[in-house]
């Protein structure tokens, strides 16, 4: 009986040794396949090598590796409604926070001079892929949390819409009170020609209106506070594919 007990104990011990040895072999093999020096590089660098490109027309946000000029990851987004468009241009992330409610689990504010806009999550995931916001860029919460962990303050965010840069898909008639990158472009042209001395803030206010009317008068053009194709052309603003 004692001999049988000893045999059982010996077998148990051998099986235990095999299990422990096999476990160590598995752990070693798994670790050997991981590059710990380069693992999760972008999380450790906190966005020092990345920028964000947003294509409004395609409803996509790309995280871009600036050093290698490659897209790291692409996410679907929602953008502004036609009457509250997403701002176009090149901006910086100047705020990061957990706002909650309609802004989802994360908020990344942009330094858009003519209003408060940002990239944020949403409690309406069904709106992703559509023109649905008041101008901000909406993401699914799990996606915005991932992007939030990859970027830092001052990360560059470039927002485009179609082929024409700040003019999106073409010219629009600008009137007092309008805001946007196209307004800022007109301000730059009037400034270059010596008529506008205000800030390039993308807001069509009284100062810009006064400058425009003076420019039109000096160039023998019909006086109007509505900026249409003829004025764009006179200012040297031409759309090119």
Catalytic residue among 26, 62, 120, 153: 120
Q: Where are the domains of the chain?
A: 1-34, 45-161, 167-234
Please indicate whether residue 96 or residue 48 has the higher confidence score (pLDDT): 96
26: annotated active-site residue:
no
Instruction: Provide the pLDDT for residue 168.
Output: 73
CATH architecture of 45-161: Beta Barrel (2.40)
136: annotated active-site residue:
yes
What is the CATH number assigned to the segment(s) 167-234?
1.10.101.10
Instruction: Provide the pLDDT for residue 3.
Output: 57
Span 51-60, mean pLDDT?
95
From the list 196, 45, 200, the residue with the least C-alpha distance to 111 is: 200
pLDDT band at 189 (very low <50, low <70, confident <90, very high): very high
Kindly list the strands in the beta sheet with 156-160, ordered across the sheet, starting from the edge strand earlier in the chain: 70-76, 60-65, 50-55, 156-160, 89-97, 107-110, 117-120, 137-138
Say if residues 152 and 66 touch (Cβ distance below 8 Å). Answer: no
Instruction: Provide the pLDDT for residue 163.
Output: 72
Say if residues 135 and 115 touch (Cβ distance below 8 Å). Answer: yes
Catalytic residue among 26, 62, 98, 136: 136
Span 54-67, mean pLDDT?
94
Let me know if the fold of 45-161 is the same as that of 167-234.
Answer: no
């Amino acid at each position: 009986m004692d001999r049988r007990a000893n045999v059982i104990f010996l077998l148990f011990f051998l099986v235990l040794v095999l299990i422990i040895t096999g476990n160590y072999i598995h752990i070693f093999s798994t670790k050997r396949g991981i590059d710990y020096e380069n693992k999760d590089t972008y999380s450790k660098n906190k966005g020092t090598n990345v920028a964000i490109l947003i294509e409004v027309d395609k409803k996509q946000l790309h995280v871009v590796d600036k050093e290698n000029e490659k897209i790291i990851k692409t996410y679907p987004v929602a953008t502004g409604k036609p009457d509250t468009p997403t701002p176009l241009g090149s901006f910086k992330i100047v705020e990061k926070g957990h706002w909650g409610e309609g802004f989802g689990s994360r908020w990344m504010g942009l330094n858009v001079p003519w209003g408060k806009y940002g990239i944020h999550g949403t409690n309406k995931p069904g709106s992703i892929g559509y023109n649905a916001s008041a101008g901000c860029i909406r993401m699914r919460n799990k996606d915005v949390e991932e992007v939030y962990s990859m970027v830092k303050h001052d990360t560059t965010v470039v927002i485009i819409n179609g082929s024409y840069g700040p003019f999106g898909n073409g010219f629009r008639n600008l009137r007092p009170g309008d805001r946007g990158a196209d307004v800022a472009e007109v301000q730059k042209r009037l400034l270059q020609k010596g008529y506008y001395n205000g800030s390039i803030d993308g807001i069509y206010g009284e100062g810009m209106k006064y400058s425009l009317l003076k420019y039109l008068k000096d160039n023998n053009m019909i006086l109007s506070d509505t900026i249409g194709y003829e004025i764009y052309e006179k200012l040297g603003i031409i759309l090119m594919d």
